[in-house]
Amino acid sequence: MLSQTREVRAFIAIELPEGVKFFLKELLAQLRSFGGSVRWTRPESIHLTLKFLGNVNNKLLTDLQAALTPVFTKQKPFLLTVSGVGAFPSLNKARVIWAGLEDPSGLSVALAAELEDTLEPLGFQKEKRSFTPHLTLGRVKSGIGSSELVGVMRQMSAISGPAFLADHAVLFESVLKPSGAEYSSLRRFDFSSA
């Protein structure tokens, strides 16, 4: 049982199927081989973050889950396709390396916007940047030795990966450890089957 005064570092995300994780594992192996000073994400930890919540008091978790349930139970499943490799804010000034996600329906963007509106009354600040569906592959520590990596990422900008059906979201707890963040599911929310 969770202590009522404890805080958990939490976020809401869409999990990836094993086939997509395998594709990303292969992609990461290729990118790693070109050097650069990057802290790469473990393939099994990659997900589509819909909303990072930060530290959430356990007392708020019940209200949070109650607010999320109607959003997700009316959400229709939608198709996403892994597409391209890039970086935020740009390839030449990369801080975050990502694999893109094509969302022809626009439902991931609409869902993220609805989450922002739903969670603001609970005290979660709205994200100022517009939502761009992506999968974080790594975080750049420094620009040392990155020119070859940037060149390869340019070549991979149009890479096409597997498609998958997003049919549920998860409220995750993130525990920061020296070996990297570890995620555990606090609650799964299945999308509408209608």
Counting the structural domains of the chain, the total is 1
Q: Is residue 66 part of a domain?
A: yes
State the pLDDT confidence band at 142, using cuts at 50, 70 and 90: confident
| The pair of three-digit structure tokens given for residue 137, joined into one six-digit string | 């592959």
- The string of pLDDT tens digits covering residues 30-63 is 999 987 889 999 999 999 999 999 999 999 999 9
**pLDDT of 89-106, one tens digit each?**
998 888 999 999 999 999
For residue 62, the enclosing domain spans 7-190
Quote the crossing angle between the two packed helices 58-73 and 107-119, to the nearest 10°.
Answer: 140
Give the chain's length.
Answer: 194
3-state secondary structure of 168: strand
Q: What is the CATH number of the domain that holds 58?
A: 3.90.1140.10
Q: Does residue 1 fall inside a structural domain?
A: no
Tokens of 18: 């094993």
Catalytic (active-site) positions: 47, 134
Rounded to two decimals, the pTM is: 0.91
Beta bridge partners of 38: 140
pLDDT-derived band at 185 (thresholds 50, 70, 90) equals very high
- pLDDT at site 194: 60
Q: Is residue 2 part of a domain?
A: no
The answer to the question of residue 186 being in a domain is yes
Report the candidate in 115, 121, 124 with the shortest Cα–Cα distance to residue 170. Answer: 115
- Could you give the 3-state DSSP secondary structure of residue 165? strand
